[in-house]
Every structure is written in structure tokens, then in C-alpha cells.
Structure 1
Amino acid sequence: MRITKAVKQQMLALLEEAYHNTTTALHYSTPFELLIAVILSAQCTDVRVNMITGRIFPRYNTPEAMLELGQEALKTLIRDCGLFHSKARNILATCEILCARFQGRVPETKEELMVLPGVGRKTANVLISQLFHIPAIAVDTHVFRVANRMALAKGKTPLEVEEGLMKAIPKNKWSEAHHWLIWHGRKICKARRPDCAFCCVQELCPSAATF
């Protein structure tokens, strides 16, 4: 099947029907907490991140409190998270910048967010979308895989896929569609063995016959 614009719209409609009420799986109650949770989530599952933040946020949920904690104590608290050495360093450097330049607040633009250590394009897109309701598509491993398999957006890099998805998806749906693709990747279109028999877009997906 040739994946035309009309077919892409059909696939997106099916994904929206299946995942219309989904949002981030990360637990947070303030913008700063989500910022820290997303930094921790690199190469780490959301379940693991929620366990870690569950023991951190009751006491250390502001940049000032995190800085008082210090690097060695922070590393101990996040030791069961991948790359904990660099993440602890980035978190504290981020807290210093937040206090020095942003009065302890999480900035609201992608450009300002990407100044923070540990915050790249994907993380910045998550934050502006989730916190400030600015349309954005964050391409993580799930979004990258699902978009390529379904031919919603073909690309060899996350940026290529992001740009392709921005063309395929109406702007007012960018942030929602980000979650549809993530949850579809987690539940159905898994990395090693996708459950194509249970896929809502199986009849339209060009990769379904290959598994």
C-alpha cells in the first residue's frame, strides 16, 4: 500500500481513537519536578524514574533544595538510574542556572530550556508541550520507531522524524499525537516483537507483514 497523506490521516485517526486520553507516565506536581524527571528519564524507564523521584521530591523539589543536597548525596539517591554520575552533575548545574538566570523558575521557551545541562531538543519539546501547552513533538525511541515503521515520517535521525511528523500531523494535534505514538510503541509496536495482531492500524501499516 502506498502511504499517502490520506492514509496517514486514517492511521492518525485510529491512533487518536485508541490513545486519546493518554499523557506522560512521569509523576510530577510542579514544572521543576517534571524537568528533573525528564532529565532522569534518559535511558531509563518511566517506572524506574517514578520510583526515584518518589523518594527525592518530598524533600528536594526546588532548585535551592537540590543544590543544598549536593552532588554526592544526589548520586546516592539516583544510583539505580542509568548514567547517574552525569545526570547528578547536569541536574545540579541546571539548578544553578535556574537560580542565577531564571529566579528559580523553569523557563518557558525551547531556546532557554536548551541552555540547561541535560536538556536537549527532545526534552525541551516535552517540557514546552506538557507544561506550557505549546505545540511540539518530542521524538524519543518509541516515537522514532513507530513513525518509521508506519511510514508516518521516515528518517534516520530524530530531527528528520520530527520534521516529517510536523508535516503529517496538524499543528493543533502535535502534542497529543506525541503521546499516541509513545503509548502505541510501549503497548503494541514494541522494539523486538510488535503485537501486530492487536494493532489498530495493522491493515494500513506497511510494516505489519514483515513481522
Structure 2
Amino acid sequence: MNRKEKAALIGEILDDLYPEIPIPLDHRDPYTLLVAVALSAQTTDKKVNQVTPALFDAAPTPEKMVELGPDRILEYIREVGLAPSKARNLWTAANQIIDAGGEIVPDWEFLESLAGVGHKTASVVMSQAFDVPAFPVDTHIQRLAARWGLSNGTTVERTERDLKAVFPRETWNDRHLQIIFFGREYCPALRHDLTACPICSWAATKKRIREEMTPKSRPQRR
């Protein structure tokens, strides 16, 4: 079975498990989605969804975010990881958006030029706010793509390129979310029985299963 054939079977399983695909991060429009995704780095979606309602009530637009200033932004997002730098980035990005006309537009160069916005964040906004085909890769997707033999998994860029090559373009926006949900529900990073997994059990190589399920020996102390 080649990679495309394997991806087609994986897609059928994911479509069956997740026929409805909600967006994990609560938001109101493209700008608040951008903010939520930027906050989600090294933080759970659950935690982001806990802090954003009050932030979005106070600053639902770039103009209002600028008015808050970095210190007050920090008060709203203190519980998320890397909060001080994220507060500064949100304020700087809001200024950049205002300088560019005040709107979030579906343009890769514009989005990736904003403070605190990398390719993954831009990809999420493009796919979920504007329905532009994209394949954002997070740690769940990189882990599963490697387990399933769809990518070598050494870099996010390589994983994205490999997944785009095996999944049809029209499925990218749904497929990346389905893989994230599957990773959280069925395919965790630690203490995972690959032989009992609905996908790993047949998609992972015997070598991969053996490597992941063999207890790692701890180095002896001297």
C-alpha cells in the first residue's frame, strides 16, 4: 500500500468518526480567530477558550486592542503560556493591522508579517476564517503523520508538504482538524497501545510499533 492509498483509507475512517468538524477555538470573526490561534501556542485550546471571552468583550477589534495596551492585555491572558510576549505581540499586531487598513485579509504575506503570527497561525486563519485550502501542522498532526508512515516527521515544513501531497486539496481544511481530534481522543503521545488504535494498528509499521511500545531503559546513575 503506497502513501496515497493509505491516506485514502485514513480519510475514510476520519470522515466516519468526525462527520461534523467544529472549530476548536472560540471566536467571533477573522480577527478574534487570529488572536485565539496566536494565544494557543504552548497552551491548550480549553485554556484559551477560558480567557478569550473577557478579552474579546474588552477588545473585539484591533483598535480596541491597541487602546488596551500590552499591560492590560496581559491581565486578561495571564493564565496562558508565554503570556507576556503574547501580550506584546497582540498589541504590536493590532497596530500593524490598523496601519494596513484595519481588516484581516486572506493574504499569506500579510498574515505572516504580523507580530507573533507564524505560518501555522496564518494557515489556521486562512483555512478556518476564509476557507482557503491549507494544512496547519501542530504536534498532534506531526506525531500521527509519522506514526502512520505519511511523513518522516522530522520538521513541520516537511510534514505539511508530505500531507498535502497525499490528501486531496479539497479535504485539507477538514482533514487537519480531524487528525487533531483523533490524536486527542485515540492516539495520545504517551502510553499509547498502537496495536489497539483504529489507525496505528494497521497503518504503522511493525518497526514503529515495536519502537514505541518497547519500554525505554533509564540511564543508570553513577
Measured against the shorter chain, the TM-score band is over 0.9
Deviation of 1:55 after TM superposition, in Å, equals 1.5
Q: Secondary structure at the match of 2:122?
A: helix
Give the match for residue 182 of structure 1: 180
TM-score of the aligned structures, taking structure 1 as reference length: 0.93
Partner Cα distance (2:185, 2:151) in 1: 20
Question: In percent, how many aligned pairs have the same letter?
Answer: 35
Residues in 2 aligned to 1:178 and 1:111: alpha-carbon distance in whole angstroms: 22
Q: How far 1:197 sits from its partner (Å)?
A: 6.2
Paired amino acid for 1:12:
G
In structure 1, distance between residues paired with 2:151 and 2:19: 20
Partner of 2:88: 89
In the other structure, the counterpart of 1:138 is 136
Tell me the alpha carbon deviations over residues 57-86 of structure 1, each in whole angstroms, 9 at most, x when there is no partner.
112111111111111111111111110111
**Cα distance, 1:88 vs. partner?**
0.6
Give the conservation status (yes or no) of the 8 Å contact 1:40–1:49. yes
- Match of residue 109 from structure 1: 107
Return the offset for 1:205: 2.1
Distance in 2 of aligned mates of 1:23 and 1:147: 21
1:5–1:168 CA contact under 8 A, matched in 2: yes
Please state whether the residue corresponding to 1:11 is helix, strand or coil: helix
In our comparison, the structure showing a higher alpha carbon Rg is 2
The worse-fitting range, judged by mean Cα deviation, of 135-144 and 195-204 is 195-204
Displacement, 1:91? 0.4
Residue by residue over 1:174-204, the C-alpha shift from the partner in whole angstroms, topping out at 9 and shown as x without a partner, is 1111011111111111111235466322442
Select the structure with the greater relative contact order (CA < 8 A; seq sep ≥ 6).
Answer: 1
Aligned-partner Cα distance in 2 for 1:149–1:197: 12
Task: Give the structure 1 partner of residue 150 of structure 2.
Answer: 152
Aligned positions of 1:151-170 closer than 5 A: 151-170=149-168
Q: Amino acid of the residue matched to residue 175 of structure 1? A: N
Q: How many residues align?
A: 209
Verify: 1:56 aligned to 2:68, yes or no: no
After superposition, what is the alpha-carbon deviation per residue over 1:150-193, rounded to whole angstroms, capped at 9, x for unaligned?
11222310000000000010001011110111111111111112
RMSD value, Cα: 1.6
Report how far residue 208 of structure 1 moved: 4.8
1:19–1:152 CA distance, 2 compared to 1 (3 A): farther
Shift of 1:3: 4.8
Instruction: Show the counterpart of 2:216.
Output: none
Q: Is the 8 A contact 1:188 1:196 kept in 2?
A: no
Are the counterparts in 1 of residues 4 and 167 from structure 2 also a CA contact under 8 Å? no
CA offset digits 1:96-122 (Å, max 9, x no partner): 011011x21112111110010111010
Amino acid at match of 2:102: G
Deviations 1:111-141 (CA, angstroms, capped at 9, x unpaired): 1100101110101110000011110000011
Query: Structure 2: which amino acid aligns with 1:86?
Result: S
The answer for unaligned runs of 5 or more in structure 1 is none
